[in-house]
Structure 1
């Protein structure tokens, strides 16, 4: 009997700006240097030249395009028998209020962060079941635990991912497949707008009743731009390399945790909410996060 596949399929290895950066890059490099066969993917594989130069296999994959997903899974299956580990990292953050964000943008958010992720997971499961083992790592967030103004639809996708992962874990355990959730605190340099224009909102969100809020929203996130010497709130954020180290544990552990909560905020806030109750926790959110 052949050994189970060790091949790792990583989505979202490039940033939304088309560069290999952030968590995806750090994960690809760490696992590759540990000797794992890593297939790093992005919508634009030319953005992964730095990873390719390291010897990492790079492939084109768009989680909104089933043909590209099927092609990648088929390629890895032909070379390794199946996908051994799927790391669902591809996602983006939609900025906008619940009442004003156009529904086509909301649908696009869910298509990328949830529906595409689910379909890719469906594509790798038959091979994992056939070999009697496999691992699916879901990149959630601290905001899969609670929500704040201005990013509610993005945070809703992370809440959905929590439920999907918990359900999937129970469904596939009998086949030797393990499902792991990773919940980082805010990552330095990740999803950080430099200006209101960088928020990528439609015209319906600009020039409206939330103008002051969006200016404050951008200023508030400035604490997470300083990746070298963060100050203030930025000191509670985590680095991409720290997240990559935890993901390596999630991939390599014989008995991985159900959830890996990275950074003090991600570990503390769920306990805090349970302890003080919803009303007091909402007071905390109002006091700490940007509120219109």
Structure 2
């Protein structure tokens, strides 16, 4: 019996994050390439356009064990196992380290880290049984460094990078391959238009001026059709989907797929600069308190 090619994608209609755009683009691209795709999200009505394309849609909340178990069971019943897991569900929590309530921090980690960890655990038995499988982890340029205002979100991406490296070595004996996707900023994603859009859960005005600058700075990534300035170095959801397909279909996928000029320059720049010069660059380039 041939190994399963069924693709399970999480977070296709997540709110407040890039996962919505990249997940949807990935689902469409893989479906049109002939793969059996299961697109999941917290709200089925938000997946109707994909269902109209012939893609199987499932209601999955990665903070809800029952829905995750049901999704894996459905794919297993249809195809023997999940052949490919794309851990895409995520959202960006805005807030400073000292002022963000810990219940919000826990919610961030439940979605961005514990959810993908549990979904990975659920698909591994079937992959081990067929001695084949792909797990794609959707990271970010911010899985490699951190800036003010999104430290907890960035921490989840750093954690994802770490467990991906451990997982890849742990599952290699069963022919399961793990690839990390590291996009540069994605046009149209995580882009606030007002401070109110940030969803800040604090009454403190310690950083009021900073948040105004934060919103203004991100405006460069808001214009999708004709980006200007920093926006021109961003990537589009379709490009990310193309790279995900490559990670799934390559006989020997890369450990990391870095998409766009910023993320490709990051590692050598930081190594050359050293910590102090790198921090000086971050304070000049990104909005600061």
Tell me the TM-score normalised to structure 1 length. 0.97
Q: Which residue of 2 is the match for residue 248 of structure 1?
A: 245
- Alignment counterpart, residue 212 of structure 2, candidates 215, 240, 246: 215
Contact 2:100 2:202 in 1 (8 A): no
Cross-structure match for 2:270: 273
- 1:61-140 correspondence to structure 2 within 5 Å: 61-140=60-139
The match for 2:233 among 224, 233, 236 is: 236
State how far apart, in whole Å, the 2-side matches of 1:17 and 1:46 are: 17
| Preserved contact between residue 43 and residue 62 of structure 1 (Cα < 8 Å) | yes
The alpha carbon displacement at 1:157 in A equals 0.3
Distance 1:99 1:21, change over 3 A: closer
Gapped regions of structure 1 (runs ≥ 5): none
5 Å-filtered alignment, 1:1-292, equals 2-16=1-15, 21-204=20-203, 207-292=204-289
Report if the CA contact (8 A) 2:191-2:222 is conserved.
yes
Structure 2 runs not aligned, ≥5 long: none
8 Å CA contact retained: 1:20, 1:48? no
Count of matched residue pairs: 289
Q: Distance in 2 between matches of 1:20 and 1:110?
A: 15
After TM superposition, the score normalised by the length of structure 2 is 0.98
Describe the SS at the equivalent of 1:203: coil
The CA distance in 2 between the partners of 1:145 and 1:20, in whole Å, is 18
CA contact 2:7–2:36 (8 Å) conserved in 1: yes
For 2:199 and 2:208, locate their aligned partners in 1 and report how far apart those are by CA, in whole Å: 14
Distance 1:99 1:84, change over 3 A: same
Match of 2:8, SS state, is strand
Paired residues of 2:140 and 2:182 also in contact (CA < 8 A):
yes
Q: What is the CA-CA distance between 1:46 and the residue it aligns to?
A: 0.9
